[in-house]
Structure 1
Amino acid sequence: MSNKIRLGILGGGGDSLIGILHRIASSMYDKYEIVGGVFNPVWEENIGFANQIGLPTNRIYVDFDKMIEEELKLPVSERMQVVSILTPNFLHFPMANKLLENGFNVICEKPMTTSYDEAKILQETLKKANTVFAVTYTYTGYPMIRQMRQMIADGVIGNVQKIDAQYYQGWINPVIHDDELRANTWRLDPEKGGISCCIGDIGTHAFDMLEYVSQLRIKSVLADLNFVYEDNQMDVDGTVLLRTENGVKGVICTSQIATGEENNFIVKIYGEKAGLKWEQENPNYLYLMQDGEPLRVLKPGHSYNSEISLDGTKLPPGHPEGIFDSMANIYKGVAKAVNGEKYDHGEFPTMIDGVRGMSFIEKVVESHQKGNIWVEI
């Protein structure tokens, strides 16, 4: 019998980008084997997709509840060990909560839930379950982001003076200006997406990333959000000022109506001695900037990088690694935790990241609604 971790998947069927990303990532280090799940609520599409990707259909279930029921009938040595939740946002909480209650380890897409209250409930459920829970803030898996985190922790740039993240996309621009599309896109539906679109979808990536690399906790926010049309209930653009617990200030600029932009995520941390900059569209370059010195460029795979960076590098220097590799490093970290192996706490985002992300979303919306005032997280 295979000694790989038995993985179940919820959602992510058809041409879902997230589905492809998770399936490929889970296979990269030969740690997981997909054994079943529910890829689509429509049975014909669900079973058809399983056939398409070559999965045995005996553990493809008609719905989530049936999956739990049938998996629990199996011996512990055969049932799913980890379940990945790749569904629309409103399903994250009920699925994750029930999985934890029944002893499963969980990998959940972000945002973790649709409200902070749900996130707190989930946190309590996890404490009782004592299983592994990861939230896929995917970009934390990049080797050079992990190098950035370690360099800041080692004092290479000195005391942090400013934190800055920009995340610009343009995909919703044609949607927002079309009445019919605007009314029928699930990310613009509060019942399915929660209280925020742009901040909930990509702003949380920026928030988690700044806390991850700087290891500073953001204490308060002041937000100004943009909805474009009065009948649109969900933000599609926003700017958030930040204050950390130790007084460092910063900013998050996010947009999904930045016309022509693809996935322009930039992270910048400035210290008293130097600055570090990373760009998601060129993820293999970490820029070290110092006054009076030439710009230095660090790349993955070299011996000058940190242990956690090298552990997440699969190829020799000069061979580009990308988003599949980044997600794979998160799956690798979860595998270590599930198998009881030693791992670095920076190897995958946890429940704490998910809870703080939900608090961030709600406080940003509150700040905007109250007239752009400072609100504590």
Structure 2
Amino acid sequence: MSNKIRLGILGGGGDSLIGVLHRVASSMYDSYHLVGGVFNPNQKDNLEFAEKIGIPTNRVYKDFDTLIAEETKLPEDERMQVISILTPNFLHFPMAKKLLENGFNVICEKPMTTTYEEAKILKNILDRSEVVFAVTYTYTGYPMIRQMKEMIASGVIGRIQKIDAQYYQGWINPIIHDEEKRANTWRLDPEKSGISCCIGDIGTHAFDMVEYVTGMEVSEILADLNYVYSNNKMDVDGTVLLRFSEFVKGIIRTSQIATGEENNFTVSIYGDKGGLKWEQENPNYLYHLTESEPLKVLKPGHAYNSALSLDGTKLPPGHPEGIFDSMGNIYRGVAKAVRKENYHPGEFPTMNDGVRGMNFIEKVVDSHQKGNVWIKIED
């Protein structure tokens, strides 16, 4: 009998990049066995996709409700243990709610829901259960981000005094300037995407990241968003000022209309003794800056890194690791939690991160709509 965790997936069929990312990540560390799911809304496509990726079709269900009904009929040692939600945003909440109510462990793409109120409902359900819930803020899985977190916690850069996160993409540029295209893109449809496009999609990554690496929580924000066209309902660019405390402040700069940019996510944390910088497009380098010594470059796999960083490193030094490895580390952390093994709290983003992410998105939009004013982030 295999001791692998039985995994189901919702969405991610066809040529979905996020689907490939999750399937590859779940196969790392030999912890999961993909047994079925609902990959496409059309059952013919669903079954063809299952055959293409080489899994049996007997647990490839025609829709989500059928999956719940059939899986809960199975003995506990046969039913899916973890189900990953990779669908468009508007389906995250109803799917996650029903999965939690039926005792499934959940891995959910971000943003976790489309509203803060929905996120709080999920949190209340989770608090009454014994299951595991993870939100895939994927970049927290990079070994050098985990190293940054541990170095900051141990006081290497001293007292934090400046935080700067930038996430620039240009992918929406060809869409936003074509009225027909932007009217038919789900990312720009509030009914499917929620109240925010840019902040909801990538700004929430930056928000979670700065809280993850610093160990601090943002207390207030002030936002200025750009919609480019008056008839476009969703932001595609934005700048958010952050207040952690009276003397610790920062900024998040996000854009999906930064022409020519691919996935330019950078994080810089400055303390009174030094600074740390990381770039997603060069994720194996962590830059340590001080005023008294030359620039230091830390790389994964070396003994000088923390246990949390080394635990998420699969290859010897000099062998690049990337986004698949980062997501794989999150899946690994969830596997430890499901098996009730010891794990570091930084191994995967939790429901709390998802709730704070939705709180952040709504407060950013609220700040912008009220004329760019400071808004408090609830605890």
Alignment TM class, shorter chain as reference? over 0.9
Tell me the CA shift for residue 128 of structure 1.
1.5
Contact 1:199 1:235 in 2 (8 A): yes
Contact 1:135 1:354 in 2 (8 A): yes
Listed one character per residue, the Cα deviations across residues 190-238 of structure 1 (whole Å, up to 9, x for unaligned) are 0000000000000000000000000010001000000000110000000
Indicate the residue corresponding to 2:42 in structure 1. 42
Local SS of the residue matching 1:57: coil
Following the alignment from structure 1 to structure 2, what is the Cα–Cα distance between the partners of residues 227 and 253? Answer: 15
Following the alignment from structure 2 to structure 1, what is the Cα–Cα distance between the partners of residues 109 and 63? Answer: 19
What is the letter of the counterpart of residue 200 of structure 1?
Answer: G
Alignment pair present for 1:235 and 2:258: no
Indicate the residue corresponding to 1:216 in structure 2. 216
Pairwise mapping of residues 72-151 of structure 1 onto structure 2 (< 5 A)? 72-151=72-151
What is the letter of the counterpart of residue 174 of structure 2?
Answer: P
Indicate the residue corresponding to 1:375 in structure 2. 375
What is the letter of the counterpart of residue 356 of structure 1?
Answer: R
What is the letter of the counterpart of residue 272 of structure 1?
Answer: D
Pairwise mapping of residues 1-377 of structure 1 onto structure 2 (< 5 A)? 1-245=1-245, 247-377=247-377
Following the alignment from structure 2 to structure 1, what is the Cα–Cα distance between the partners of residues 272 and 310? Answer: 27
Listed one character per residue, the Cα deviations across residues 268-303 of structure 1 (whole Å, up to 9, x for unaligned) are 000000000000000000000001321100000000
User: Could you tell which deviates more after superposition, 242-251 or 115-124?
Assistant: 242-251
What is the letter of the counterpart of residue 112 of structure 2?
Answer: M
Following the alignment from structure 2 to structure 1, what is the Cα–Cα distance between the partners of residues 170 and 369? Answer: 24
Local SS of the residue matching 2:283: strand
Tell me the CA shift for residue 129 of structure 1.
1.9
Contact 1:217 1:245 in 2 (8 A): no
Q: Aligned residue pairs: how many? A: 377
Following the alignment from structure 1 to structure 2, what is the Cα–Cα distance between the partners of residues 255 and 60? Answer: 38
Contact 1:288 1:297 in 2 (8 A): yes
Local SS of the residue matching 1:165: strand
Contact 1:189 1:233 in 2 (8 A): yes
Percent identity between the two aligned chains: 77
Local SS of the residue matching 1:29: helix
Following the alignment from structure 1 to structure 2, what is the Cα–Cα distance between the partners of residues 48 and 42? Answer: 10
Following the alignment from structure 1 to structure 2, what is the Cα–Cα distance between the partners of residues 245 and 355? Answer: 21
Following the alignment from structure 2 to structure 1, what is the Cα–Cα distance between the partners of residues 18 and 272? Answer: 39
Tell me the CA shift for residue 247 of structure 1.
3.7
Contact 1:268 1:276 in 2 (8 A): yes
Listed one character per residue, the Cα deviations across residues 110-155 of structure 1 (whole Å, up to 9, x for unaligned) are 0000000000000001111220000000000000000000000000
Moved over 2 A (4+): none
Following the alignment from structure 2 to structure 1, what is the Cα–Cα distance between the partners of residues 212 and 223? Answer: 21
Local SS of the residue matching 1:131: coil
TM-score (normalised: structure 1): 0.99
Tell me the CA shift for residue 245 of structure 1.
3.9
Following the alignment from structure 1 to structure 2, what is the Cα–Cα distance between the partners of residues 75 and 129? Answer: 19
Local SS of the residue matching 2:30: coil
Following the alignment from structure 1 to structure 2, what is the Cα–Cα distance between the partners of residues 113 and 246? Answer: 31
Following the alignment from structure 1 to structure 2, what is the Cα–Cα distance between the partners of residues 122 and 73? Answer: 24
What is the letter of the counterpart of residue 79 of structure 1?
Answer: R
Local SS of the residue matching 1:357: helix
Tell me the CA shift for residue 88 of structure 1.
0.2
Tell me the CA shift for residue 246 of structure 1.
5.8
Tell me the CA shift for residue 306 of structure 1.
0.1
Following the alignment from structure 2 to structure 1, what is the Cα–Cα distance between the partners of residues 306 and 152? Answer: 12
What is the letter of the counterpart of residue 81 of structure 1?
Answer: Q
Contact 1:216 1:245 in 2 (8 A): no
Following the alignment from structure 1 to structure 2, what is the Cα–Cα distance between the partners of residues 45 and 165? Answer: 40
Following the alignment from structure 2 to structure 1, what is the Cα–Cα distance between the partners of residues 197 and 296? Answer: 37
Following the alignment from structure 2 to structure 1, what is the Cα–Cα distance between the partners of residues 115 and 178? Answer: 28
